[in-house]
Chains A and B, each alone.
Chain A
Amino acid sequence: MADTLPLKHSVPVRHALAMYWRALAAQVRSIIEYPADLWVMASAGAVWNLLQFAFLAVLFSTVPDVEGWGFHEMLLLSGLLSIAGGANALLFDGAWSTGQMVIKGDIDYRLTRPAPVVLQVGSSHIGLQSFGELLLGFAMFVYGWIGAGLGPAWIPVGLFAIACAAVIQCGLVTALCAVNFWIKSPMSMFAFLMIDLQGGAMKLPLGVFPAAVRVISLFIVPVAFVNVVPVAVIAGHMSAWWLIGTPVTALFAVVLAAGVYRLGLRAYDSAGH
Protein backbone atom coordinates (compact mmCIF):
# COMPACT_ATOMS: atom_id res chain seq x y z
CA MET A 1 0.00 0.00 0.00
CA ALA A 2 2.81 2.37 0.90
CA ASP A 3 4.34 1.82 -2.54
CA THR A 4 1.24 2.82 -4.42
CA LEU A 5 -0.13 5.51 -2.12
CA PRO A 6 2.61 7.96 -1.08
CA LEU A 7 2.12 9.41 2.41
CA LYS A 8 1.20 13.07 2.68
CA HIS A 9 4.04 15.12 4.11
CA SER A 10 2.85 18.66 3.66
CA VAL A 11 -0.59 19.03 5.19
CA PRO A 12 -0.75 22.48 6.83
CA VAL A 13 -0.99 22.30 10.62
CA ARG A 14 -3.97 24.64 10.70
CA HIS A 15 -5.87 22.46 8.23
CA ALA A 16 -5.00 19.30 10.17
CA LEU A 17 -6.17 20.78 13.46
CA ALA A 18 -9.37 22.12 11.88
CA MET A 19 -10.10 18.64 10.53
CA TYR A 20 -9.41 17.15 13.97
CA TRP A 21 -11.84 19.46 15.76
CA ARG A 22 -14.51 18.98 13.08
CA ALA A 23 -14.20 15.19 13.41
CA LEU A 24 -14.44 15.48 17.18
CA ALA A 25 -17.49 17.75 16.85
CA ALA A 26 -19.10 15.11 14.61
CA GLN A 27 -18.50 12.58 17.38
CA VAL A 28 -20.17 14.91 19.89
CA ARG A 29 -23.21 15.15 17.61
CA SER A 30 -23.43 11.36 17.45
CA ILE A 31 -23.17 11.17 21.26
CA ILE A 32 -26.23 13.37 21.55
CA GLU A 33 -28.07 10.87 19.35
CA TYR A 34 -27.37 8.05 21.85
CA PRO A 35 -28.02 9.45 25.35
CA ALA A 36 -28.24 5.97 26.95
CA ASP A 37 -24.73 5.25 25.71
CA LEU A 38 -23.50 8.45 27.32
CA TRP A 39 -25.02 7.68 30.71
CA VAL A 40 -23.88 4.06 30.83
CA MET A 41 -20.34 4.93 29.85
CA ALA A 42 -20.06 8.03 32.04
CA SER A 43 -21.25 5.91 34.98
CA ALA A 44 -18.62 3.28 34.11
CA GLY A 45 -15.91 5.95 34.27
CA ALA A 46 -17.29 7.21 37.57
CA VAL A 47 -17.32 3.71 39.10
CA TRP A 48 -13.62 3.28 38.41
CA ASN A 49 -12.83 6.51 40.23
CA LEU A 50 -15.15 5.87 43.13
CA LEU A 51 -13.40 2.55 43.72
CA GLN A 52 -10.01 4.25 43.63
CA PHE A 53 -11.25 6.63 46.29
CA ALA A 54 -12.61 3.71 48.31
CA PHE A 55 -9.29 1.86 48.02
CA LEU A 56 -7.38 4.84 49.40
CA ALA A 57 -9.94 5.45 52.15
CA VAL A 58 -9.72 1.80 53.27
CA LEU A 59 -5.92 1.79 53.08
CA PHE A 60 -5.54 4.98 55.09
CA SER A 61 -7.98 3.81 57.73
CA THR A 62 -5.32 1.17 58.49
CA VAL A 63 -2.03 3.05 57.96
CA PRO A 64 -1.24 6.72 58.71
CA ASP A 65 0.96 7.22 55.63
CA VAL A 66 2.71 5.39 52.82
CA GLU A 67 6.37 6.38 52.37
CA GLY A 68 5.58 9.71 54.02
CA TRP A 69 2.63 10.43 51.71
CA GLY A 70 -0.71 11.19 53.34
CA PHE A 71 -4.26 10.42 52.21
CA HIS A 72 -4.80 13.75 50.45
CA GLU A 73 -1.53 13.59 48.56
CA MET A 74 -2.45 10.13 47.34
CA LEU A 75 -5.81 11.51 46.21
CA LEU A 76 -3.90 14.04 44.12
CA LEU A 77 -2.02 11.15 42.50
CA SER A 78 -5.16 9.18 41.67
CA GLY A 79 -7.07 12.32 40.63
CA LEU A 80 -4.40 13.46 38.19
CA LEU A 81 -4.10 9.97 36.72
CA SER A 82 -7.88 9.86 36.18
CA ILE A 83 -7.85 13.28 34.54
CA ALA A 84 -5.08 12.13 32.17
CA GLY A 85 -6.98 8.95 31.31
CA GLY A 86 -10.20 10.91 30.85
CA ALA A 87 -8.47 13.42 28.58
CA ASN A 88 -7.13 10.57 26.46
CA ALA A 89 -10.60 9.06 26.15
CA LEU A 90 -12.13 12.45 25.33
CA LEU A 91 -9.53 13.78 22.89
CA PHE A 92 -7.83 10.77 21.28
CA ASP A 93 -9.79 7.62 22.06
CA GLY A 94 -9.75 6.48 18.45
CA ALA A 95 -6.07 5.54 18.80
CA TRP A 96 -7.22 2.42 20.67
CA SER A 97 -8.85 1.24 17.39
CA THR A 98 -5.54 1.19 15.51
CA GLY A 99 -5.12 -2.59 15.86
CA GLN A 100 -8.64 -3.30 14.63
CA MET A 101 -8.22 -0.88 11.71
CA VAL A 102 -4.92 -2.44 10.66
CA ILE A 103 -6.35 -5.97 10.69
CA LYS A 104 -9.49 -4.99 8.80
CA GLY A 105 -7.68 -2.76 6.33
CA ASP A 106 -9.62 0.29 7.52
CA ILE A 107 -6.50 2.44 7.31
CA ASP A 108 -6.77 2.34 3.48
CA TYR A 109 -9.72 4.70 3.54
CA ARG A 110 -7.90 7.14 5.78
CA LEU A 111 -4.75 7.12 3.66
CA THR A 112 -6.72 8.54 0.76
CA ARG A 113 -7.93 11.59 2.68
CA PRO A 114 -5.94 14.84 2.80
CA ALA A 115 -5.25 14.90 6.55
CA PRO A 116 -2.76 13.17 8.86
CA VAL A 117 -3.88 9.58 9.45
CA VAL A 118 -2.99 9.70 13.14
CA LEU A 119 -5.36 12.63 13.69
CA GLN A 120 -8.11 10.95 11.68
CA VAL A 121 -7.81 7.76 13.71
CA GLY A 122 -7.46 9.58 17.05
CA SER A 123 -10.58 11.65 16.46
CA SER A 124 -12.62 8.72 15.15
CA HIS A 125 -14.15 8.10 18.55
CA ILE A 126 -14.84 9.68 21.94
CA GLY A 127 -14.67 7.41 24.98
CA LEU A 128 -17.79 8.38 26.83
CA GLN A 129 -16.39 7.07 30.10
CA SER A 130 -14.20 10.16 29.94
CA PHE A 131 -17.01 12.33 31.33
CA GLY A 132 -17.21 10.25 34.50
CA GLU A 133 -13.44 9.94 34.72
CA LEU A 134 -12.86 13.66 34.30
CA LEU A 135 -15.62 14.70 36.69
CA LEU A 136 -14.53 12.45 39.54
CA GLY A 137 -10.85 12.83 38.69
CA PHE A 138 -11.15 16.60 39.12
CA ALA A 139 -13.22 16.07 42.29
CA MET A 140 -10.49 13.88 43.79
CA PHE A 141 -7.78 16.27 42.68
CA VAL A 142 -9.49 19.33 44.18
CA TYR A 143 -10.41 17.47 47.39
CA GLY A 144 -6.83 16.26 47.72
CA TRP A 145 -5.52 19.74 46.94
CA ILE A 146 -7.59 21.36 49.66
CA GLY A 147 -6.96 18.54 52.15
CA ALA A 148 -3.20 18.68 51.57
CA GLY A 149 -3.30 22.39 52.40
CA LEU A 150 -1.85 23.56 49.08
CA GLY A 151 -2.20 27.27 48.57
CA PRO A 152 -3.44 29.18 45.51
CA ALA A 153 0.17 30.01 44.55
CA TRP A 154 0.50 26.44 43.26
CA ILE A 155 -2.63 26.64 41.07
CA PRO A 156 -0.76 27.63 37.85
CA VAL A 157 1.59 24.70 38.42
CA GLY A 158 -1.40 22.42 38.98
CA LEU A 159 -3.06 23.56 35.74
CA PHE A 160 0.21 23.19 33.85
CA ALA A 161 0.60 19.67 35.26
CA ILE A 162 -2.93 18.77 34.14
CA ALA A 163 -2.30 20.00 30.58
CA CYS A 164 1.01 18.12 30.36
CA ALA A 165 -0.53 14.96 31.86
CA ALA A 166 -3.22 14.96 29.16
CA VAL A 167 -0.67 15.39 26.36
CA ILE A 168 1.72 12.73 27.73
CA GLN A 169 -1.11 10.22 28.18
CA CYS A 170 -2.47 10.77 24.66
CA GLY A 171 1.01 10.63 23.12
CA LEU A 172 2.22 7.50 24.89
CA VAL A 173 -1.05 5.60 24.38
CA THR A 174 -1.08 6.50 20.67
CA ALA A 175 2.56 5.47 20.20
CA LEU A 176 1.98 2.13 21.91
CA CYS A 177 -1.26 1.49 19.99
CA ALA A 178 0.72 2.09 16.78
CA VAL A 179 2.82 -0.97 17.61
CA ASN A 180 -0.13 -2.89 16.17
CA PHE A 181 1.07 -1.92 12.70
CA TRP A 182 3.77 -4.56 13.20
CA ILE A 183 2.27 -6.88 15.82
CA LYS A 184 -1.05 -7.81 14.26
CA SER A 185 -3.63 -8.05 17.00
CA PRO A 186 -7.09 -6.59 17.56
CA MET A 187 -5.95 -5.68 21.09
CA SER A 188 -3.52 -2.85 21.86
CA MET A 189 -1.52 -4.98 24.27
CA PHE A 190 1.38 -2.57 24.76
CA ALA A 191 -0.95 0.32 25.52
CA PHE A 192 -2.86 -1.91 27.93
CA LEU A 193 0.46 -2.86 29.50
CA MET A 194 1.20 0.82 30.07
CA ILE A 195 -2.24 1.35 31.62
CA ASP A 196 -1.52 -1.69 33.78
CA LEU A 197 1.79 -0.15 34.87
CA GLN A 198 0.00 3.07 35.72
CA GLY A 199 -2.84 1.30 37.54
CA GLY A 200 -0.43 -0.86 39.53
CA ALA A 201 2.39 1.51 40.34
CA MET A 202 1.49 5.14 39.57
CA LYS A 203 -1.14 5.52 42.28
CA LEU A 204 1.46 5.07 44.98
CA PRO A 205 4.74 6.82 45.81
CA LEU A 206 7.64 5.58 43.69
CA GLY A 207 9.66 4.88 46.84
CA VAL A 208 7.46 1.84 47.54
CA PHE A 209 8.70 0.07 44.42
CA PRO A 210 12.03 -1.49 43.46
CA ALA A 211 14.56 0.63 41.57
CA ALA A 212 13.71 -1.09 38.28
CA VAL A 213 10.12 0.21 38.41
CA ARG A 214 11.36 3.71 39.18
CA VAL A 215 13.82 3.68 36.27
CA ILE A 216 11.22 2.28 33.84
CA SER A 217 8.50 4.73 34.82
CA LEU A 218 10.81 7.75 34.84
CA PHE A 219 13.07 7.13 31.85
CA ILE A 220 11.87 4.26 29.64
CA VAL A 221 8.06 4.52 29.57
CA PRO A 222 7.91 7.90 31.32
CA VAL A 223 4.46 7.52 32.85
CA ALA A 224 5.71 8.91 36.17
CA PHE A 225 5.64 12.37 34.56
CA VAL A 226 1.88 12.04 34.03
CA ASN A 227 1.08 12.26 37.73
CA VAL A 228 3.74 11.09 40.19
CA VAL A 229 6.44 13.67 39.44
CA PRO A 230 4.18 16.77 39.30
CA VAL A 231 2.31 15.75 42.46
CA ALA A 232 5.57 14.90 44.26
CA VAL A 233 6.91 18.35 43.37
CA ILE A 234 3.71 20.14 44.42
CA ALA A 235 3.57 18.18 47.68
CA GLY A 236 7.24 18.85 48.40
CA HIS A 237 8.49 15.26 48.05
CA MET A 238 10.71 16.02 45.06
CA SER A 239 12.84 18.95 44.02
CA ALA A 240 11.13 21.55 41.80
CA TRP A 241 13.74 20.85 39.12
CA TRP A 242 11.96 17.62 38.31
CA LEU A 243 9.03 19.65 37.00
CA ILE A 244 11.08 20.55 33.93
CA GLY A 245 10.78 16.92 32.90
CA THR A 246 7.01 17.21 32.56
CA PRO A 247 6.81 19.48 29.46
CA VAL A 248 9.88 17.77 28.02
CA THR A 249 8.10 14.42 28.34
CA ALA A 250 4.94 15.91 26.81
CA LEU A 251 6.95 17.05 23.78
CA PHE A 252 8.69 13.69 23.61
CA ALA A 253 5.34 11.84 23.74
CA VAL A 254 3.89 13.87 20.86
CA VAL A 255 6.97 13.40 18.68
CA LEU A 256 7.07 9.70 19.56
CA ALA A 257 3.40 9.19 18.68
CA ALA A 258 3.74 11.01 15.34
CA GLY A 259 6.99 9.21 14.53
CA VAL A 260 5.85 5.68 15.39
CA TYR A 261 2.58 6.21 13.52
CA ARG A 262 4.44 7.44 10.44
CA LEU A 263 6.76 4.44 10.53
CA GLY A 264 3.76 2.19 11.08
CA LEU A 265 2.05 3.54 8.00
CA ARG A 266 5.14 2.72 5.96
CA ALA A 267 4.93 -0.87 7.22
CA TYR A 268 1.17 -1.05 6.66
CA ASP A 269 0.26 -3.44 3.87
CA SER A 270 -3.55 -3.36 4.04
CA ALA A 271 -5.65 -6.44 4.83
CA GLY A 272 -5.02 -9.85 3.35
CA HIS A 273 -1.61 -9.14 1.77
Chain B
Amino acid sequence: MAKVDVALATIAFKRKIAYKGTWFFSILFGGFSLLAGLAVWNHLIGDGEMGGYDWDAMKAYLIIGFLTSTLAWAGSDWEMANRILDGLIAIDLTKPVDFQRARAGEFIGGMVASVPSAILGTAAAVLVFRPAPPDSVLAAALTVASILFIFPLAFGINYLAVLTCFVTQRYLGVQWARDSMLAFFSGMMVPLALMPAWLQTVSWSLPFVHFTTTPASIYLGRVDLPAALGLLAAQAAWSVGLWVLARLLWSQLVKKVTVHGG
Protein backbone atom coordinates (compact mmCIF):
# COMPACT_ATOMS: atom_id res chain seq x y z
CA MET B 1 0.00 0.00 0.00
CA ALA B 2 1.49 3.31 -1.08
CA LYS B 3 1.70 6.45 1.00
CA VAL B 4 -0.92 8.15 -1.15
CA ASP B 5 -3.46 5.36 -0.44
CA VAL B 6 -3.04 5.84 3.31
CA ALA B 7 -3.28 9.62 2.90
CA LEU B 8 -6.54 9.36 0.94
CA ALA B 9 -7.96 6.86 3.45
CA THR B 10 -7.04 9.23 6.31
CA ILE B 11 -8.72 12.17 4.59
CA ALA B 12 -11.88 10.11 4.02
CA PHE B 13 -11.81 9.01 7.66
CA LYS B 14 -11.56 12.62 8.86
CA ARG B 15 -14.27 13.76 6.44
CA LYS B 16 -16.58 11.03 7.67
CA ILE B 17 -16.23 11.89 11.34
CA ALA B 18 -16.47 15.62 10.56
CA TYR B 19 -20.20 15.10 9.92
CA LYS B 20 -20.85 13.81 13.44
CA GLY B 21 -24.63 13.76 13.02
CA THR B 22 -24.40 11.58 9.92
CA TRP B 23 -21.86 9.36 11.66
CA PHE B 24 -24.11 8.94 14.69
CA PHE B 25 -27.26 8.23 12.71
CA SER B 26 -25.57 5.64 10.52
CA ILE B 27 -25.49 3.36 13.55
CA LEU B 28 -29.20 3.97 14.15
CA PHE B 29 -30.05 2.57 10.71
CA GLY B 30 -28.47 -0.77 11.44
CA GLY B 31 -29.73 -0.68 15.02
CA PHE B 32 -33.34 -0.30 13.97
CA SER B 33 -33.07 -2.99 11.29
CA LEU B 34 -31.58 -5.30 13.92
CA LEU B 35 -34.42 -4.64 16.37
CA ALA B 36 -37.03 -5.13 13.63
CA GLY B 37 -35.36 -8.38 12.56
CA LEU B 38 -35.22 -9.63 16.15
CA ALA B 39 -38.92 -8.85 16.67
CA VAL B 40 -39.97 -10.61 13.47
CA TRP B 41 -37.87 -13.75 13.92
CA ASN B 42 -38.70 -14.02 17.60
CA HIS B 43 -42.35 -14.02 16.58
CA LEU B 44 -41.79 -16.61 13.86
CA ILE B 45 -39.38 -18.98 15.65
CA GLY B 46 -40.76 -18.85 19.18
CA ASP B 47 -39.47 -21.91 21.07
CA GLY B 48 -38.97 -23.95 17.90
CA GLU B 49 -36.56 -23.57 15.02
CA MET B 50 -36.60 -22.57 11.34
CA GLY B 51 -34.09 -23.67 8.76
CA GLY B 52 -31.91 -25.15 11.50
CA TYR B 53 -31.81 -21.88 13.48
CA ASP B 54 -33.17 -21.85 17.02
CA TRP B 55 -33.78 -18.50 18.70
CA ASP B 56 -30.25 -18.16 20.16
CA ALA B 57 -28.64 -19.04 16.82
CA MET B 58 -30.92 -16.61 14.99
CA LYS B 59 -29.95 -13.81 17.39
CA ALA B 60 -26.27 -14.48 16.62
CA TYR B 61 -27.08 -14.57 12.89
CA LEU B 62 -28.89 -11.22 13.01
CA ILE B 63 -26.20 -9.53 15.14
CA ILE B 64 -23.48 -10.67 12.71
CA GLY B 65 -25.64 -9.29 9.90
CA PHE B 66 -25.95 -6.00 11.78
CA LEU B 67 -22.16 -5.76 12.19
CA THR B 68 -21.35 -6.58 8.58
CA SER B 69 -24.07 -4.37 7.09
CA THR B 70 -23.02 -1.44 9.32
CA LEU B 71 -19.51 -1.79 7.92
CA ALA B 72 -20.64 -2.40 4.34
CA TRP B 73 -22.91 0.65 4.20
CA ALA B 74 -20.47 3.02 5.88
CA GLY B 75 -18.14 3.63 2.94
CA SER B 76 -18.06 6.85 0.97
CA ASP B 77 -20.02 5.64 -2.05
CA TRP B 78 -21.97 8.92 -2.31
CA GLU B 79 -18.76 10.91 -2.51
CA MET B 80 -17.59 8.61 -5.33
CA ALA B 81 -20.92 8.93 -7.15
CA ASN B 82 -20.98 12.72 -6.80
CA ARG B 83 -17.50 12.99 -8.31
CA ILE B 84 -18.86 11.40 -11.47
CA LEU B 85 -22.24 13.15 -11.45
CA ASP B 86 -20.79 16.62 -10.72
CA GLY B 87 -17.99 16.26 -13.27
CA LEU B 88 -15.19 16.44 -10.66
CA ILE B 89 -13.91 13.26 -12.23
CA ALA B 90 -12.43 15.47 -14.97
CA ILE B 91 -10.00 16.82 -12.36
CA ASP B 92 -9.33 13.32 -11.02
CA LEU B 93 -8.35 12.17 -14.49
CA THR B 94 -5.61 14.82 -14.61
CA LYS B 95 -4.04 13.61 -11.35
CA PRO B 96 -1.16 11.13 -11.35
CA VAL B 97 -3.14 8.76 -9.10
CA ASP B 98 -5.04 5.71 -10.27
CA PHE B 99 -8.76 6.54 -9.95
CA GLN B 100 -9.86 3.13 -8.68
CA ARG B 101 -7.06 2.87 -6.10
CA ALA B 102 -7.72 6.40 -4.90
CA ARG B 103 -11.43 5.69 -4.46
CA ALA B 104 -10.62 2.39 -2.74
CA GLY B 105 -8.44 4.26 -0.25
CA GLU B 106 -11.19 6.78 0.44
CA PHE B 107 -13.86 4.09 0.69
CA ILE B 108 -11.89 1.96 3.15
CA GLY B 109 -11.09 5.10 5.17
CA GLY B 110 -14.83 5.82 5.40
CA MET B 111 -15.51 2.24 6.50
CA VAL B 112 -12.82 2.41 9.18
CA ALA B 113 -14.57 5.48 10.61
CA SER B 114 -17.60 3.29 11.32
CA VAL B 115 -15.64 0.53 13.09
CA PRO B 116 -15.87 2.02 16.62
CA SER B 117 -19.64 2.56 16.36
CA ALA B 118 -20.16 -0.88 14.76
CA ILE B 119 -18.18 -2.58 17.53
CA LEU B 120 -19.99 -0.62 20.24
CA GLY B 121 -23.38 -1.44 18.74
CA THR B 122 -22.47 -5.10 18.39
CA ALA B 123 -21.17 -5.29 21.97
CA ALA B 124 -24.37 -3.69 23.25
CA ALA B 125 -26.51 -6.11 21.21
CA VAL B 126 -24.53 -9.10 22.53
CA LEU B 127 -24.90 -7.92 26.13
CA VAL B 128 -28.62 -7.22 25.81
CA PHE B 129 -29.76 -10.15 23.66
CA ARG B 130 -27.28 -12.89 24.68
CA PRO B 131 -26.90 -14.70 21.33
CA ALA B 132 -25.39 -18.17 20.85
CA PRO B 133 -21.61 -18.19 21.42
CA PRO B 134 -19.18 -19.10 18.59
CA ASP B 135 -18.91 -22.81 17.83
CA SER B 136 -15.23 -22.81 18.84
CA VAL B 137 -12.27 -20.48 19.29
CA LEU B 138 -11.15 -21.37 15.77
CA ALA B 139 -14.62 -20.57 14.42
CA ALA B 140 -14.46 -17.18 16.15
CA ALA B 141 -11.05 -16.45 14.61
CA LEU B 142 -12.21 -17.49 11.14
CA THR B 143 -15.34 -15.34 11.56
CA VAL B 144 -13.13 -12.30 12.22
CA ALA B 145 -11.15 -13.12 9.06
CA SER B 146 -14.40 -13.44 7.11
CA ILE B 147 -15.61 -10.07 8.41
CA LEU B 148 -12.32 -8.44 7.36
CA PHE B 149 -13.04 -9.53 3.79
CA ILE B 150 -16.15 -7.29 3.95
CA PHE B 151 -13.83 -4.31 3.35
CA PRO B 152 -12.64 -5.21 -0.18
CA LEU B 153 -15.96 -6.87 -1.04
CA ALA B 154 -17.96 -3.80 -0.03
CA PHE B 155 -15.67 -1.56 -2.03
CA GLY B 156 -15.99 -3.79 -5.11
CA ILE B 157 -19.79 -3.86 -5.03
CA ASN B 158 -20.16 -0.17 -4.19
CA TYR B 159 -17.65 0.88 -6.83
CA LEU B 160 -19.46 -1.16 -9.50
CA ALA B 161 -22.76 0.44 -8.42
CA VAL B 162 -21.18 3.90 -8.57
CA LEU B 163 -19.89 3.27 -12.09
CA THR B 164 -23.53 3.26 -13.28
CA CYS B 165 -23.42 7.04 -12.69
CA PHE B 166 -21.64 7.29 -16.03
CA VAL B 167 -24.96 6.39 -17.67
CA THR B 168 -27.40 7.76 -15.08
CA GLN B 169 -28.04 11.23 -13.66
CA ARG B 170 -28.81 10.10 -10.11
CA TYR B 171 -27.35 7.61 -7.67
CA LEU B 172 -30.22 7.22 -5.19
CA GLY B 173 -32.18 4.57 -7.10
CA VAL B 174 -29.06 2.57 -7.86
CA GLN B 175 -28.10 2.72 -4.20
CA TRP B 176 -31.49 1.35 -3.14
CA ALA B 177 -31.31 -1.44 -5.71
CA ARG B 178 -27.82 -2.34 -4.50
CA ASP B 179 -28.88 -2.25 -0.85
CA SER B 180 -31.94 -4.42 -1.46
CA MET B 181 -29.88 -6.96 -3.44
CA LEU B 182 -27.33 -7.02 -0.66
CA ALA B 183 -30.02 -7.41 2.01
CA PHE B 184 -31.80 -10.22 0.15
CA PHE B 185 -28.97 -12.27 -1.37
CA SER B 186 -26.75 -11.94 1.70
CA GLY B 187 -29.47 -13.70 3.69
CA MET B 188 -30.09 -10.67 5.91
CA MET B 189 -33.78 -10.43 5.01
CA VAL B 190 -34.39 -14.16 5.14
CA PRO B 191 -31.74 -16.85 5.78
CA LEU B 192 -30.64 -18.82 2.74
CA ALA B 193 -31.60 -22.04 4.56
CA LEU B 194 -35.27 -21.08 4.11
CA MET B 195 -34.96 -20.39 0.39
CA PRO B 196 -35.78 -22.99 -2.26
CA ALA B 197 -32.77 -24.86 -3.64
CA TRP B 198 -32.62 -22.91 -6.92
CA LEU B 199 -32.63 -19.58 -5.09
CA GLN B 200 -29.90 -20.80 -2.75
CA THR B 201 -27.83 -21.68 -5.84
CA VAL B 202 -28.39 -18.20 -7.26
CA SER B 203 -27.44 -16.61 -3.93
CA TRP B 204 -24.26 -18.68 -3.54
CA SER B 205 -23.20 -17.69 -7.05
CA LEU B 206 -23.27 -13.99 -6.11
CA PRO B 207 -20.84 -12.06 -3.90
CA PHE B 208 -23.55 -10.72 -1.57
CA VAL B 209 -23.84 -14.02 0.30
CA HIS B 210 -20.42 -13.44 1.87
CA PHE B 211 -21.70 -10.43 3.82
CA THR B 212 -23.95 -12.32 6.25
CA THR B 213 -24.36 -16.02 5.48
CA THR B 214 -20.65 -16.80 5.24
CA PRO B 215 -19.49 -15.22 8.53
CA ALA B 216 -22.63 -16.43 10.36
CA SER B 217 -22.25 -19.99 9.04
CA ILE B 218 -18.61 -20.10 10.20
CA TYR B 219 -19.46 -18.57 13.59
CA LEU B 220 -22.31 -20.99 14.30
CA GLY B 221 -20.37 -24.03 13.07
CA ARG B 222 -22.85 -24.76 10.29
CA VAL B 223 -19.83 -25.52 8.07
CA ASP B 224 -16.80 -27.67 8.98
CA LEU B 225 -13.19 -26.42 8.80
CA PRO B 226 -12.48 -27.26 5.12
CA ALA B 227 -15.77 -25.66 4.08
CA ALA B 228 -15.01 -22.58 6.19
CA LEU B 229 -11.60 -22.23 4.54
CA GLY B 230 -13.28 -22.69 1.17
CA LEU B 231 -15.69 -19.86 1.95
CA LEU B 232 -12.80 -17.59 2.93
CA ALA B 233 -11.11 -18.48 -0.36
CA ALA B 234 -14.34 -17.60 -2.19
CA GLN B 235 -14.40 -14.23 -0.44
CA ALA B 236 -10.80 -13.60 -1.53
CA ALA B 237 -11.63 -14.65 -5.09
CA TRP B 238 -14.63 -12.33 -5.22
CA SER B 239 -12.52 -9.45 -3.87
CA VAL B 240 -10.05 -9.90 -6.72
CA GLY B 241 -12.74 -10.64 -9.31
CA LEU B 242 -14.76 -7.52 -8.50
CA TRP B 243 -11.60 -5.41 -8.66
CA VAL B 244 -10.73 -6.74 -12.12
CA LEU B 245 -14.31 -6.44 -13.36
CA ALA B 246 -14.40 -2.81 -12.22
CA ARG B 247 -11.17 -2.14 -14.12
CA LEU B 248 -12.67 -3.58 -17.31
CA LEU B 249 -15.91 -1.60 -16.96
CA TRP B 250 -14.03 1.59 -16.11
CA SER B 251 -11.97 1.37 -19.29
CA GLN B 252 -15.21 1.43 -21.30
CA LEU B 253 -17.31 3.81 -19.22
CA VAL B 254 -14.66 6.52 -18.85
CA LYS B 255 -15.02 7.13 -22.58
CA LYS B 256 -18.48 8.52 -21.81
CA VAL B 257 -17.12 11.39 -19.72
CA THR B 258 -18.18 14.70 -21.19
CA VAL B 259 -17.72 17.76 -19.00
CA HIS B 260 -19.36 20.98 -20.06
CA GLY B 261 -19.66 19.68 -23.59
CA GLY B 262 -15.95 18.98 -23.96
> Which A residues lie within 8 Å of B82 (CB)?
186
Report which residue of A52, A192, A199, A204 has the largest number of chain B beta carbons within 10 angstroms of its beta carbon: A199
Contact A185 B21 (CB under 8 A): yes
* CA gap between A66 and B167 in the complex, in Å: 41
Report which residue of A54, A189, A190 has the largest number of chain B beta carbons within 10 angstroms of its beta carbon: A189
B129 on the A face (CB < 8 A) = no
* CA gap between A189 and B168 in the complex, in Å: 23
Contact B176 A58 (CB under 8 A): no
| Chain A residue with the shortest CB-CB distance to B176 | A48
> Which A residues lie within 8 Å of B25 (CB)?
189-190, 192-193
Stretch of B28-36, B111-119, B242-250 with 4 or more beta carbons under 8 angstroms from chain A: B28-36
Contact B189 A55 (CB under 8 A): yes
Contact B21 A41 (CB under 8 A): no
A45 on the B face (CB < 8 A) = yes
Contact B28 A193 (CB under 8 A): yes
A51 touches which of B22, B32, B43, B180 (Cβ 8 Å): B180
B190 on the A face (CB < 8 A) = yes
Size range of the chain A interface in the assembly: 35 or more
> Which A residues lie within 8 Å of B21 (CB)?
183, 185, 189
B159 CB, nearest partner CB in chain A, Å = 16
A40 touches which of B22, B50, B167, B194 (Cβ 8 Å): B167
B177 on the A face (CB < 8 A) = yes
A1 on the B face (CB < 8 A) = no
* CA gap between A125 and B39 in the complex, in Å: 37
Q: Which A residues from 84 to 139 make CB contacts under 8 A with B?
A: 89, 93, 96, 125, 127-129
Contact B173 A127 (CB under 8 A): yes
> Which A residues lie within 8 Å of B36 (CB)?
200-201, 209, 213
* CA gap between A36 and B22 in the complex, in Å: 32
User: Given A37-B168, A37-B169, A208-B39, are A196 and B33 neighbors across the interface (CB < 8 Å)?
Assistant: yes
B199 on the A face (CB < 8 A) = yes
* CA gap between A213 and B32 in the complex, in Å: 10
B17 CB, nearest partner CB in chain A, Å = 13
B180 touches which of A47, A204, A209 (Cβ 8 Å): A47
> Which A residues lie within 8 Å of B39 (CB)?
208-210, 213
> Which B residues lie within 8 Å of A41 (CB)?
168, 170, 173-174
> Which B residues lie within 8 Å of A30 (CB)?
169
Contact A185 B194 (CB under 8 A): no
> Which B residues lie within 8 Å of A200 (CB)?
32-33, 35-37
* CA gap between A48 and B19 in the complex, in Å: 29
> Which B residues lie within 8 Å of A4 (CB)?
none
| Chain B residue with the shortest CB-CB distance to A33 | B169
User: Given A66-B43, A185-B21, A210-B39, are A58 and B181 neighbors across the interface (CB < 8 Å)?
Assistant: no
B32 touches which of A185, A189, A196 (Cβ 8 Å): A196
Contact A193 B181 (CB under 8 A): no
Contact B196 A58 (CB under 8 A): yes
A60 CB, nearest partner CB in chain B, Å = 11
Contact A127 B170 (CB under 8 A): yes
A182 CB, nearest partner CB in chain B, Å = 10
B164 on the A face (CB < 8 A) = yes
A62 CB, nearest partner CB in chain B, Å = 5
A3 on the B face (CB < 8 A) = no
B121 CB, nearest partner CB in chain A, Å = 14
Report which residue of B25, B176, B196 has the largest number of chain A beta carbons within 10 angstroms of its beta carbon: B176
* CA gap between A259 and B174 in the complex, in Å: 31
> Which B residues lie within 8 Å of A183 (CB)?
21
- 26 cross-chain CB contacts under 8 A: A36-B167, A37-B170, A40-B174, A41-B170, A45-B177, A47-B181, A48-B176, A51-B180, A51-B181, A55-B184, A58-B195, A59-B194, A62-B194, A63-B44, A127-B173, A128-B168, A186-B78, A187-B78, A189-B25, A189-B26, A192-B29, A193-B28, A193-B32, A196-B29, A196-B32, A196-B33
* Beyond A34-B169, A44-B177, A59-B190, 20 extra complex contacts between A and B, CB < 8 Å: A44-B173, A44-B176, A45-B176, A48-B177, A51-B184, A54-B184, A58-B194, A58-B195, A125-B170, A127-B173, A128-B168, A128-B169, A185-B22, A189-B21, A193-B28, A193-B32, A196-B32, A196-B33, A208-B40, A209-B36
| B residues adjacent to A (C-beta < 8 A) | 19, 21-22, 25-26, 28-29, 32-33, 35-37, 39-40, 43-44, 50-51, 78, 82, 164, 167-170, 172-174, 176-177, 180-181, 183-184, 189-190, 194-196, 199
